[in-house]
Amino acid sequence: MQKRTLGQGLEVSALSLGAMGYGKARELPDRDDMIKLLRTAVERGMDFFDTAEAYGPFTNEVMVGEALQPLRDQVKIATKFGWDIDPDTGVNSGAVNSKPDHIRRAVEGSLRRLKTDHIDLLYQHRVDPDVPMEDVAGVVKDLIAQGKVRWFGLSEAGAKSIRRAHAVQPVAALQSEYSLWTREPENEILPTLEELGIGLVPFSPLGKGFLTGKIDVGTSFDTSDMRNSVPRFAPEAREANRKLIELIARIGDRHGATPAQVALAWLLARKPGIVPLFGTRKLERFEENVGALKVHLTQDDLEEIEGSSIEIKGARYPEEHMKRVGI
């Protein structure tokens, strides 16, 4: 598999697998299949995997730890802190918490669950407006000096927070939503990252499934599916946003590629320091997504996308969630 370099010399596979949906909140009946998929991904050459203490909480890190412990020297594991989660009960209050002592306790818990002595990339999951970013970065700097963490990352942080953190402890990567239907990072975030030499790990590169082309106005989601509350997935928004699917499907036809592969190939073509992070629980979808590495969009393809002027309808999060990003 191709390699890419994020900030601070962090070299990883050109695509990353997010394990968020594996063992989250409950023990899934296909848990063994999820562990097998993670290990198969390593066999295919992927070495960059993403989890967080909040996924569950805790059950996701436990699963990832079990899956990757036998392969630990072949992989880089990213996890996250930053929510107010009780370290004993796993109860998440829903508030952010990046107080220094809380970060240290969170990291000790993550190390234990991941069955490892170090975390390769440690992200602050969301900016805590009540804790100075300098204090957060300072704690991570100490953890790096202790050998418990190797690289520092931020998630959904705004440009000012990125600069403040980077001045204390150089940031290797920002994880934020970026895709063909979420392009706001181009306004301020991408120029900031390029200036500071920080990589981008875009999550939801397939628009929470929409950019696969398999979701239309008639698609229904399970009652527990968060997309039921996302404005962008309201029926009228889905109908309007199908124009984007039609565009990338046309481009895909020229390359013998699926819409999902075009969406990932577009991200890969944006900047060399971008490593898309996708999630799937099916091997065939994993193989389809990895196939995007063989799709090379032409300049004409890229210009067609830029010239389409398709306006995406609907916010990417409910209003309450949007208050937690970009600060």
> What tens digit of pLDDT does each residue of 298-307 get?
999 999 999 9
Q: Which of 81-85, 96-100, 143-147, 320-324 has the lowest mean pLDDT?
A: 320-324
Q: What average pLDDT does range 201-230 have in this prediction? A: 94
Q: What average pLDDT does range 135-139 have in this prediction? A: 98
**Residue 76 falls within a domain, yes or no?**
yes
Say if residues 50 and 20 touch (Cβ distance below 8 Å): yes
C-alpha to C-alpha distance for 267 and 121, rounded to whole angstroms: 21
Cα-Cα-Cα-Cα torsion 125, 131, 137, 140, nearest 10 degrees, comes to -70
**Residue 229 falls within a domain, yes or no?**
no
User: How big is the chain by its Cα radius of gyration, in Å?
Assistant: 19
Residues with Cβ within 8 Å of residue 256, at least 6 apart in sequence: none
C-alpha to C-alpha distance for 152 and 73, rounded to whole angstroms: 19
Look at residue 25 in the predicted model and tell me its pLDDT.
Answer: 46
Q: What average pLDDT does range 121-144 have in this prediction? A: 98
Amino acid at 198: I
Q: Which of 5-14, 26-35, 152-161 has the lowest mean pLDDT?
A: 26-35
**Residue 35 falls within a domain, yes or no?**
yes
Tokens of 19: 């394990």
Q: What average pLDDT does range 118-128 have in this prediction? A: 98
**Residue 213 falls within a domain, yes or no?**
no
> Which active-site residues does the annotation give?
55
Look at residue 27 in the predicted model and tell me its pLDDT.
Answer: 57
**Residue 274 falls within a domain, yes or no?**
yes
Flag whether pLDDT at 55 surpasses 50: yes
Q: Which of 140-149, 215-224, 267-276, 281-290 has the lowest mean pLDDT?
A: 215-224
Mean pLDDT of the chain: 95
Look at residue 16 in the predicted model and tell me its pLDDT.
Answer: 98
Which has more confidence, 23 or 69? 69
Q: Which residue range forms the structural domain that includes residue 274? A: 3-206+261-295
pTM, rounded to two decimals: 0.96
User: In terms of Cα–Cα distance, which of 34, 20, 126, 36 is closest to 78?
Assistant: 20
Q: Contacts for 209-217 with beta carbons within 8 Å, 24 or more apart?
A: 210/181, 210/238, 210/241, 210/245, 211/179, 211/180, 211/181, 211/244, 211/245, 211/248, 211/259, 211/260, 211/263, 212/258, 212/259, 212/260, 213/245, 213/248, 213/249, 213/258, 213/259, 213/260, 216/242, 217/242
Number of structural domains (the chain) is 1
**Residue 302 falls within a domain, yes or no?**
no
**Residue 188 falls within a domain, yes or no?**
yes
Q: Kindly report the CATH number assigned to the domain that includes residue 117.
A: 3.20.20.100
